[in-house]
Amino acid sequence: MRYGRAYDLREDTVMGSGNSNARILVGECYCRAVRYEVADAFSYAMNCHCSNCRRTTGAAFKPFAGIEQSKLRIVSGENQRTIYGDDTTHDAHCARCGSLLYSRVREGKWVHVAMGTLVDAPSIRPSVHIFVGSKAPWHEITDNLPQYRGHVGDV
């Protein structure tokens, strides 16, 4: 019940942390040294086209999903992470293979999971494109999701 809302309806695949009813999703880096579990209870998901997200992933954009920090747990390789940034706000990579796993954001209270590292499919889908103002010129957005120049709301 901590995860609230629609997730209370799921009764089939309950496992893991405490009395929550959310499914637990597994994620991992390329070399599998670092594994995490996260509740399938993301509050939002977006495709970010900013130059930082493009560089940290090496991709045209970064699909990420946001959730409270307490709902993500490192299950192996905790000390094999490279933390880029400070204690509260940072990117967490695997120190061995370099995969970007997640970012701690919003004063450390939230994490943005790099959706490409999820092994299990989350319920949520990216709903918007953000920082399209700095999108790669060689990449064309071909879906109909809303596009914002910067953050959501920046037209």
Q: Which residues bind Zn ion (CB under 5 A)?
A: 29, 31, 33, 48, 50, 53, 94, 96-97
CB of 50 or CB of 115, closer to Zn ion: 50
Least Å distance between CB 29 and Zn ion?
Answer: 3
Strands (DSSP E) contained in the chain are 24-28, 35-39, 44-48, 62-68, 72-76, 81-85, 90-94, 100-105, 110-114, 128-130
Q: In angstroms, rounded to a whole number, what is the distance separating the alpha carbons of residues 132 and 155?
A: 10
Tokens 């997200």, residue located: 53
User: Smallest distance, Å, CB 34 to Zn ion?
Assistant: 6
> Min. distance of Cβ 98 from Zn ion in angstroms?
7
Are 18 and 24 contacting, i.e. CB atoms less than 8 angstroms apart?
no
Nearer to Zn ion, 50 or 100 (CB): 50
Q: Please say which residue, 25 or 50, places its beta carbon nearer to Zn ion.
A: 50
